[in-house]
Structure 1
Amino acid sequence: MKHISKHYGGIAALSDVDFVAFPGEIHAVLGENGAGKSTLIKIAAGVTDPSAGELYVAGKRVNFRNPTEAMAAGVVCVFQELSLLPDMTVADNLSIVAPPLRGGLIDSRAQRERARELLAMIGCEDIHPLELVRNLPLSRRQMVEIAKALAKRPKLLILDEATSALTAADVERVYAIIRRLRSEGAGILYVSHRMHEIEALADCATVFRNGRRIETFRKGERSVSAIVQMMIGRELIHHYPEKPTPDSGARVALSVKNLSWGQQLRDISFDVRKGEIVGLGGLDGQGQRSLLFALFGVLKGISGTVEVLGKPLRLSGPRSAMRAALPMALIPEDRKTEGLLLSMNIRDNISLASLSRFQKGLRFDRGREHFAVERMIESLSIKISDLAAAVSTLSGGNQQKVVLAKWLMTDPGIILLNDPTRGIDVGTKQEVYRLLRDLADSGVAVLFYSTDYAELIGCCDRVLVMYGGSIARELSGTDLNERTMIETALNVDDKGQAA
């Protein structure tokens, strides 16, 4: 890329950027959300046109009009927003562009066999080719997306937060795929906010900030703290807010007794007090997400009892949870499909969950709504150019802030968080951590699931580690450390023996 710029109205997403990626090299692309990373890879993948500048592939100038032309040149991108069709099978999705034909019709048997080969290539033989994509958990869908990209035999593979939704085992599979592609001469552009992944994989890295390329450097030439400072333009002093002394006399906000749901949740009991941040830990898929959905009334067939401020709560639906003695809010895992309506504008997304507040009889008070939305945008420092713009135009971090703003507008007393910092940059994470602690300090009860152990240790007053749909152990104080959390998550004792 030479002198690449991209403007959206008066906003410069990229400004005079020079960027080079080489064959047989893993090149990390770093920066906060809104730094220009997504725009860079969209231009490389033919999704959007640059406002100025030139693009070259293997020394030849190109002008991609769409992703199909980019893929024909060997440039394939796995975006954070998955492109799979949920109501089609895995096999259909993997061959959606060029299915095998026989007599002018799709050869279903050859398509299934091709799907099996691709799934075996990424170590996911457990995924059935005829399974509907909508029935797969997010981590499995992400692996199918990667298999779909490999089917195109990329010369340059672009991975945008490819591991943010994956289990630990799948992350290792992706590492192996990336290293194999590098050894075969493919170039890799790797966008991630997980610094340990960058250290483990990248041969070199480029940092972007405010639409400009700040620096490109080889592996080992810059410390993590130096990289973070380049990304955010300031020194990062405190990673997590200071925890207050636990108040054992605080009133119990949420009390759960003997909660069960099929084989996924088994006899779960715990309390969360007002002003407390309680984490849900353990390996991914141990019932954490199901527990949050159960408490918010999404699941049917729940047994056990839930009380809010000592009053029984009927788990009959989200509306009941939102109208509890302390109103509940659920921040979902996937902001794109569960948290936002991407084609709607920013203002309507933020006010969506609290529209009743602005209704007076048959009249809707648009002025009050606008004022409340503006206040929320200011308090969360959401970077926007126009309230009427589609929320899909925002960076990932700002989209996540819109999801938070939507639910904070409902004035919740209990907040359920499902991996809220997945796929957002280090600076925005700091703001989310600070926000959670400020909410707790104001008396809100927070139940917080994260796949990041360091995040749970740094943010939470206590952590409930789940295993096999049950709470295996509660950790607090000096026991709240990574070693103990991992041992509990793996269901082993401190001597490494299976419990």
Structure 2
Amino acid sequence: MVLSSTPVVRLSGVSKTYGSTKALTEVDFSCFSGEVHAILGENGAGKSTLIKLIAGVVQPTEGKITVNGKELVLKNPSIATSHGLVCMFQELSLVPDLSVRENIMLGAPGTGFGWLNSKVVPQAESILEQIDGAHIRMSMRVADLTLAERQQVEIAKALTRNPKLLILDESTSALNSSVVEKVFKLIRKQRELGVGVLFISHRFHEIEALADRISIFRNGQYVETFDNGAFDYGYIISRMVGQRIDDIFPPKKVFNTEAEEVLKLDSYSWKGGFNNVSITLRQGQITGFGGLDGQGQNEVLLGLFGLLKNTAGEIQIAGHSVKITHPKQAKAPDLGIALVPEDRKTEGLVLEQSIARNLELSALGTKGVNALDPTIYQTFLEALELKCNSLDQPVSQLSGGNQQKVALAKWLALNPRCLLLADPTRGIDVKTKTQIYALLRRLADSGIAVLLLSTDFEELIHLCDDAHIFYDGEIVSHLKGSELTAENIIAASLNIQTGGEVHG
């Protein structure tokens, strides 16, 4: 592609320090109009600091920022937005207790001095319709939306700001593949209109599908920029983490189909959520739940953890029929079920509490487990290589990947027989993903049964022994072995049968 002579934004010799911590060091970086420029790097690489500087959230300690050839001091986000620098952050910025309409209008062009610009609302509604969000009413309270719906609203809000540079930080991390492609269609249209796009994602297939150029950051420093397609995954990963990673996913072992049953569902149902779900999960097995967002797969996990009332059908744990009505019952040693929920910040952790206090929460009240004994968590924290100052550090100060490590470790300390995971690697870096994948495989090898809900079909293919694909609250396909392909997963997600064991 041919780039314009003047970048829409340029950073020259930019450094940012917090006390003795160097978040960015002497970075030279440019993004041009009419290009999608992907930023890659593991947690702590400096990606978040980079976009915060461009968005006016923080200011550089050294160096200068130039916008369309003019040096600017971006003292706050309002100034950045006025120059067309619009950012959708990974940590969603919507106000939970306000409606979708009110959130769309907040900070919109023409808003201020007590006035809200309602002209952006029809535009936002049109954008939502284009990304499968027509069901999201403007009157709905943001707190009542799912994580995926909140991301759709954030995308619509960002595009109503008439950006010259659109910064998307893990903007599709909670969306299914069908919605992601529709979002990409909108982004490509923005590119054709001359908008520059900074795109941050830890999903390599998204980078491959969307980006024109890729820049890599590592340990707060700019590494290099190259055209999309110039190098393979192995090279890119080695540049990101500073060492060669031959394979993101651990090798699969031949699964023992005669292993002892841990969990069996027979016609498990919940009115309005899912229907006739029948699966068998054995010791050492990693089974995936796939499908478009909101097809009932997450509700199955919630039901198994005792968070739903009036479920029907049969649940068997180790061959014994049980009725699970409360999380305390589910996590008790005789059942041994653990759930790592989808949204770590609102469902899995208490952000302002320390790491130590968060680790204790799952074990509190569990028979035979001393929640105050730090050694019961240490093995898992070491396996996941948690990066923190001490266990007294507030969880809110950790990166997203390290927060997820805490959310995982607190449940693994209970030594569950069945581990339920809802999109556990959403929005975290490739190195942390690799650590989590390796740990899950070791847990399975030790006999734990793992039920993994994932919106990333690469996880279903490369990590899971088999996968159940949901559509409209029911399992429509059971894929295993050579049937576990991207084509079969996507087709089943759309209820188009091409392979696998057909249900219904």
Tell me if TM exceeds 0.5: yes
> What root-mean-square deviation, in Å, do the aligned CA atoms of Structure 1 and Structure 2 show?
3.0
Work out the CA distance in 1 between the residues paired with 2:280 and 2:269. 16
Is the 1:358–1:365 Cα contact (8 Å) retained in structure 2?
A: no
User: What amino acid is aligned across from residue 103 of structure 2 in structure 1?
Assistant: N
- Superposed, 1:275-286 pairs within 5 Å as 275-286=284-295
User: What amino acid is aligned across from residue 438 of structure 2 in structure 1?
Assistant: R
Decide which of 26, 47, 58 is 2:68's aligned counterpart: 58
2:458 aligned with 1:425: no
Decide which of 435, 439, 447 is 1:435's aligned counterpart: 439
Work out the CA distance in 2 between the residues paired with 1:456 and 1:23. 36
User: What amino acid is aligned across from residue 464 of structure 1 in structure 2?
Assistant: H
Question: What residue is the counterpart of 2:177 in the other structure?
Answer: 168
Is the 1:309–1:325 Cα contact (8 Å) retained in structure 2?
A: no
Query: What is the total number of aligned residue pairs between the two structures?
Result: 493
User: What amino acid is aligned across from residue 251 of structure 2 in structure 1?
Assistant: E
Work out the CA distance in 2 between the residues paired with 1:260 and 1:423. 30
SS of 1:19's equivalent in the other structure is strand
Aligned-pair CA distance for 1:163: 1.2
SS of 2:405's equivalent in the other structure is helix
Question: 1:338-369 CA distances to partner (integer Å, 9 max, x unpaired)?
Answer: 22222222232233222447999xxx986x33
Question: 1:262-290 CA distances to partner (integer Å, 9 max, x unpaired)?
Answer: 13211112221121111112333221111
Is the 2:263–2:315 Cα contact (8 Å) retained in structure 1?
A: yes
- Superposed, 1:104-123 pairs within 5 Å as 113=122, 115-117=124-126, 119=128
Aligned-pair CA distance for 1:190: 0.6
User: What amino acid is aligned across from residue 19 of structure 1 in structure 2?
Assistant: F
Paired-residue identity, %: 45
Aligned-pair CA distance for 1:121: 6.8
Relative distance call for 1:494 and 1:14 in structure 2 (3 A) is same
Question: What residue is the counterpart of 2:402 in the other structure?
Answer: 398
Relative distance call for 1:495 and 1:349 in structure 2 (3 A) is closer
TM-score (norm 2): 0.89
Work out the CA distance in 2 between the residues paired with 1:359 and 1:66. 52
TM-score (norm 1): 0.90
Question: What residue is the counterpart of 1:252 in the other structure?
Answer: 261
SS of 1:18's equivalent in the other structure is strand
Question: What residue is the counterpart of 1:461 in the other structure?
Answer: 465
Relative distance call for 1:313 and 1:54 in structure 2 (3 A) is farther
Question: What residue is the counterpart of 2:250 in the other structure?
Answer: 241
Question: 1:94-116 CA distances to partner (integer Å, 9 max, x unpaired)?
Answer: 012359899977687x6754643
Relative distance call for 1:324 and 1:308 in structure 2 (3 A) is farther
Is the 1:24–1:184 Cα contact (8 Å) retained in structure 2?
A: yes
Aligned-pair CA distance for 1:42: 1.4
Work out the CA distance in 1 between the residues paired with 2:200 and 2:230. 19
Is the 1:313–1:321 Cα contact (8 Å) retained in structure 2?
A: no
Question: What residue is the counterpart of 1:290 in the other structure?
Answer: 299
Runs of at least 5 residues in structure 2 that lack an aligned partner in the other structure: 1-10
Decide which of 15, 18, 25 is 1:5's aligned counterpart: 15
Relative distance call for 1:491 and 1:186 in structure 2 (3 A) is closer
Relative distance call for 1:106 and 1:180 in structure 2 (3 A) is closer
Decide which of 382, 388, 410 is 2:386's aligned counterpart: 382
Is the 2:355–2:406 Cα contact (8 Å) retained in structure 1?
A: yes
Relative distance call for 1:104 and 1:189 in structure 2 (3 A) is closer
Work out the CA distance in 2 between the residues paired with 1:256 and 1:486. 24
2:475 aligned with 1:471: yes
Work out the CA distance in 2 between the residues paired with 1:215 and 1:383. 26
Relative distance call for 1:111 and 1:28 in structure 2 (3 A) is closer
Work out the CA distance in 2 between the residues paired with 1:314 and 1:34. 44
Work out the CA distance in 1 between the residues paired with 2:465 and 2:435. 18
- Superposed, 1:138-287 pairs within 5 Å as 138-287=147-296
2:330 aligned with 1:321: yes
Aligned-pair CA distance for 1:73: 2.4
User: What amino acid is aligned across from residue 491 of structure 1 in structure 2?
Assistant: N
Relative distance call for 1:356 and 1:91 in structure 2 (3 A) is same
Work out the CA distance in 2 between the residues paired with 1:232 and 1:373. 26
Relative distance call for 1:439 and 1:68 in structure 2 (3 A) is same
Work out the CA distance in 1 between the residues paired with 2:390 and 2:15. 21
Moved more, 178-187 or 286-295: 178-187
2:98 aligned with 1:88: yes
Question: What residue is the counterpart of 2:455 in the other structure?
Answer: 451
Aligned-pair CA distance for 1:48: 2.4
Question: What residue is the counterpart of 1:45 in the other structure?
Answer: 55
Runs of at least 5 residues in structure 1 that lack an aligned partner in the other structure: none
Aligned-pair CA distance for 1:128: 2.0
Aligned-pair CA distance for 1:381: 0.4
Aligned-pair CA distance for 1:261: 0.6
SS of 1:424's equivalent in the other structure is coil
2:18 aligned with 1:14: no
Relative distance call for 1:387 and 1:68 in structure 2 (3 A) is farther
